[in-house]
């Protein structure tokens, strides 16, 4: 039964992540389409990706090394 709950928790977290990503994409696309995005905002939007990815990878690696479950990682 625990396995089923773990999978349900994972599916819920994955769905929430995807919904949040879609919301960000829609908002940023609207801002670009309306011409309301400034050049510094556009640059920050591009440059944040590698920074966030590196930080997330570091946190996941540390969590895995400590024996965290898949949902925590």
**What are the residue boundaries of the structural domains of the chain, listed by start?**
1-36, 38-73
Sign of the alpha-carbon dihedral angle for 4, 66, 13, 53: negative
- What digits encode the pLDDT tens for the residues 21-72? 999 999 999 999 999 999 999 999 999 999 999 999 999 999 999 999 877 8
Residue linked to tokens 């919301």: 23
Query: What pLDDT sits at residue 47?
Result: 93
Q: Is the pTM value of this prediction over 0.85? A: no
DSSP H helix total and E strand total for the chain: 2, 0
């Amino acid at each position: 039964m625990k396995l089923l709950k773990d999978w349900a928790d994972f599916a819920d977290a994955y769905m929430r992540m995807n919904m949040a990503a879609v919301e960000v994409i829609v908002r940023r696309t609207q801002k670009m389409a309306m011409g309301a995005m400034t050049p510094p905002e556009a640059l920050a939007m591009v440059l944040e990706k590698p920074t966030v990815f590196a930080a997330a990878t570091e946190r996941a690696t540390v969590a895995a090394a400590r024996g965290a479950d898949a949902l925590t990682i």
